[in-house]
Amino acid sequence: MFKRLIQIIGMLVFIPVLAISCSNNSADKTQPVPYFPVQKNVPQIMYLMLLHGTLVMDKDGYLKVNVTKDLPALVIWPYGYSLKIEGKEIQVINDKGQIVAKVGDTVTLGGGFVPLVSDVEERIGQALPKNAIGPYFISNPQ
């Protein structure tokens, strides 16, 4: 009887531990949905700066241009731009329906840095997520 009780207790401990370890190793680890802020209006002015680097998606789903590893700029895309995901490829589409960049591409964007979160939020017409850390780069249409 005592031996049977020890077996039952062992199973009660083993099954939950096995279930937890299997769930942590499952294929349920999904990529975050990319955050794609777009200007709500056609810009009245164009900035004259160029941003050159690699288009990346960070672990939180933010599309940024890595100028250096210490300075990834969150891009605020032009009015009319959109995001398209085909399989594992993340594409930036312009207002004419053309692919202008893909995650992993080296890009050069015209535009300028905007230091204030309030200016960015005014341009996109909504609040930025709390963890959307700048610097913020307003991109001109290409």
Q: How many domains does the chain have?
A: 1
Nearest to 134, CA basis, from 71, 82, 78, 58: 71
Question: CATH code at 99?
Answer: 2.40.50
Nearest to 140, CA basis, from 108, 118, 115: 108
Q: How many CB atoms lie within 10 A of CB 53?
A: 17
Inter-residue contact 75 to 137 (CB < 8 Å): yes
Domain, as residue range, for 115: 49-139
Inter-residue contact 134 to 117 (CB < 8 Å): yes
Q: Say yes or no to pLDDT of 5 above 60.
A: no
Give domain status of residue 88, yes or no. Answer: yes
Highest mean pLDDT among 7-11, 30-34, 132-136: 132-136
Highest mean pLDDT among 3-7, 20-24, 63-67, 68-72: 63-67
Give domain status of residue 40, yes or no. Answer: no
Q: Say yes or no to pLDDT of 24 above 90.
A: no
Inter-residue contact 67 to 73 (CB < 8 Å): yes
Nearest to 43, CA basis, from 89, 112, 93: 112
The CA-atom distances, in angstroms, between 57 and each of 6, 31, 42 are 51, 10, 25
Give domain status of residue 103, yes or no. Answer: yes
**pLDDT digits over 41-78, tens only?**
998 888 899 999 999 999 999 999 998 777 799 999 99
Give domain status of residue 33, yes or no. Answer: no
